[in-house]
Amino acid sequence: MRTLGAGLLTLIATIAVVCAVPSLWAHYRVVDPAGFTSFVEPMATDRAIQDLIADELAVQISDQASGVVPSSIVEPATRAYTRSDQFPADFADVLGQQHDWLFTEPTTEAQRNGIMELNLTPMVNRVLKGYGLSGVRVDGQIEVALSESQRSGLEAGRYRAIGDRITQVGFGAAAVAAIAALLALVIARRRGFTLAALGVGVVAAAAVSWLLGALMRSRARDEVAGAENSPRRVAELIIDKAVADFHTTALVVGGAGVVAVALGILVSLIFERRQAR
């Protein structure tokens, strides 16, 4: 009976870990606003992202100046800005606006029917004021469509309910996994074997998370496929970095599972030797 109970609890713990790993990663990296900002801000140091944003800013500034300011002046200014200490915070702020768009319930009809856009006005103003282009005027907002909301599914507030559910599942599953694993070890007749079984479950959860990361990349890329060239490429780079971070998390979890398996086997061997004596 104790063996059956330990096995059942081990299975429950494994299922809970499978749910907890991707959910907690999504909560801390995507759903939580502060966590999202701290996650994406370091991406601004990536040279490819810097160059893509610089190119987009140069295009927008040239359009505002009606071609009067030559690209030989605009492009060095935008590149100097994206390599400055000011850029990471501005980059995180722009992405934070998109986070708010997706995770905050829309309050107006315009928001519900609007198109998800990147507001580059603060960045353009920063370049104009700080990098020798003060003679250029910006009339109104400079916004670049990231996608057509009706086609891609990136409507305002689309992930509000999903985000709340992910948070609930993540913390709930983590609690269930911890309690079930502890109880399994307490009631098990062969604790070493049970620990090894729990480790196998954690490795399985890591493998499932790895596969989910690949699916997440494909889905996220589809949602930004309708964006203009530079914003789309920036979004794809961010998606790739996020998936890489998720895969790293899965590897860490898998490594912890392997350690648990090794410890379980070691405990079983030590116990068997004591019994043999």
pLDDT at 154: 66
Residue 24 in tokens:
């907690």
Q: By C-alpha distance, which of 99, 98, 84 is closest to 44?
A: 84
pLDDT at 273: 65
Rounded mean pLDDT for each run of 10 residues along the chain, 277 residues in total: 84 95 95 92 92 88 72 84 92 88 76 73 86 71 67 71 94 96 89 91 94 88 72 85 94 95 87 61
Q: How far, in Å, are 10, 36, 256 from residue 252 at the CA level?
A: 20, 20, 6
pLDDT at 18: 94
- φ and ψ at residue 117, rounded to 5 degrees: -135, 155
- Helix (H, G, I), strand (E, B), or coil: what is residue 144? strand
Q: How far, in Å, are 28, 30, 150 from residue 242 at the CA level?
A: 12, 9, 25
Q: Summarize the chain as % helix, strand, coil (round to 5).
A: 80, 0, 20
β-strand partners of 145: 117
pLDDT at 104: 85
